Amino acid sequence: MKKILFLLMVFMISISTAFAEENLDSGDIENIEITISDEENNLILNNDDFESLNVYSEVIEAGKPEEIDDGYYKTIGQKIRIKVLDKRFLGKEYSVIYYLEDGINSRLPLYDELKVGDKVYAYGTLENGILQVDAISYYDKTPWVLLIFLIFAGLIVLIGRKNGLKALISLVLTILMIFWLLIPGILSGKNIIILTVGVCSVVILVTFIIVSGFTKKTLIAIIGTIGGIVAAAIIGALFSHLMRLTGINEHARMISVAYAGEGEMISFKNVMLSAIMISAMGACMDVGMSIASALNELKSKKKDITKRELIKSGMNIGRDVMGTMTNTLILAYVGSAMLCILLYNINGFDLSFVLNAEDITDEVLKSLSGSIGLVATIPITAILGGILLGSGMVSNKDGIKQQDNKVENENIEIPVKYFKG
């Protein structure tokens, strides 16, 4: 068993490494030389490949909020002066306007007021070799993101101890796999479905082995989880075809603009299916490992437990887990589509129209496909767990147990002749 799991892990990691090396080898990295002009707010670059970029900066002067007329709308903003901290443009200063409200709708606040010392990202555009910095993209939230992550990591280790540390390591590896392998692969034109299945398989394999080691329980959870994800992908592919979904939303349109003239366009329908598998993976892993662990615990307490009993127990455990986990998936997708739902309700659209809007239908398909994958994980894991962990004995109504084709009757009748005389 350990050898099988080890070979699977080596095989999947080898594929991932080879794929990553291919992506790295195919990328061309160019050195950029920078010169600073005398004209404020302009930097001259000798690399015309740049079209836009954000530079890390610090606010050194911050005016009070005031009404600003940009020629189109009157809105509230701040006059800000920033100093660039990015090493490429270190020390250069710019004066920009930071808009605090939406010019079209003054009731809609965009950002909070900036203060001296705040870190921001300033947006610049490259045109004819000259970089013009004319806006602030957003306030730097990195310290707060790191803080909440540290709180999360600390609680996991504090409560879970050794297992919590293992879970944290597996989470970091999962994030690295997605951003180091999946995203670059999609952007480089790889087959999105095959790539996503491969990444999910590696993440599941590595995570479960880190958490549980090389055991039968791990193998059961791995196969059950992968089966659930494949089921979610099949349902998603089938119904996205029947619903004639394209997977195109606001972000997809922005990507299409960015990729204009760059070759073959990304298949947004396949990206949607990839999202279904990635989002369903966590819930399927949870259910798969929960059932496998429970069955393994039952086996350790009752050595002669039968395959049938284990399968029945696994199904019962799965039914209990299914209700809450399905709610988790559905509510997660409803939360992500909340603004869209509010928009349609404000405009007075009826429910049938809302459900037929593509951005809403996408979320419905993702949530239901993921939930179906979760449900499919239960019987796969329960049946496999019963087969691999069961003792091989099957009980019948007469109290007779069968094992390795050998039948033993618990109620042995003694012939009457031995009592004669």
Task: Name the residue among 321, 314, 289 with its Cα closest to residue 387.
Answer: 314
User: Residue 43, SS3?
Assistant: strand
User: Residue 33, SS3?
Assistant: coil
How confident is the model at residue 411, as a pLDDT? Answer: 45
Q: Which residues of 370-398 are buried (b: 16+ CB within 10 A; e: fewer)?
A: bbbbbbbbbbbbbbbbbebbbbeeeeeee
CA distance 283 to 65: 46
Is-contact 113 99, C-beta < 8 A?
A: no
Cα dist. 203→5, 132, 193, 212, 222 in Å?
A: 14, 43, 15, 14, 10
CA distance 310 to 387: 8
Q: Which residues of the chain does CATH 2.40.50 include?
A: 37-140
Integer Rg of the chain from CA? 30
Give the CATH architecture of domain 37-140: Beta Barrel (2.40)
Instruction: Look up tokens 């195919």; give the residue.
Output: 26
What amino acid is encoded at 282 in this protein? G
pLDDT tens, residue order, the chain (421 aa): 554 444 445 445 444 444 444 444 444 333 333 333 334 444 444 444 556 788 889 999 999 988 887 777 778 888 999 998 888 778 888 898 888 876 655 556 667 889 999 999 998 876 665 667 888 888 999 999 999 999 999 999 999 888 889 889 989 999 999 999 999 998 888 889 899 989 999 999 999 999 888 889 999 999 999 999 999 999 999 999 999 888 776 666 666 656 655 556 778 888 889 989 998 898 899 999 999 999 999 999 888 899 999 999 999 999 988 877 778 778 877 787 787 778 777 777 777 777 787 778 888 888 899 899 999 999 999 999 999 998 765 554 444 344 444 434 444 444 544 444 4
Is-contact 226 282, C-beta < 8 A?
A: no
Q: How far is CA 214 from the centre of its chain?
A: 25
CATH C-level class of 161-393: mainly alpha
Q: Which residues of the chain does CATH 1.20.1640 include?
A: 161-393
Tokens at 50, concatenated: 């740049």
Task: Name the residue among 272, 289, 243 with its Cα closest to residue 370.
Answer: 272
What amino acid is encoded at 345 in this protein? N
Pairing status of strand 66-69 against strand 130-139: unpaired
Tokens at 294, concatenated: 């429970």
CA distance 82 to 62: 9
How confident is the model at residue 306, as a pLDDT? Answer: 92
What amino acid is encoded at 141 in this protein? K
How confident is the model at residue 405, as a pLDDT? Answer: 42
| Angle CA 255–259–261, to nearest 5 | 155
Tokens at 371, concatenated: 């939930």
Q: What is the DSSP letter of 419?
A: G
Q: What is the DSSP letter of 339?
A: H
CA distance 47 to 33: 7
CA distance 216 to 208: 11
CA distance 366 to 278: 10
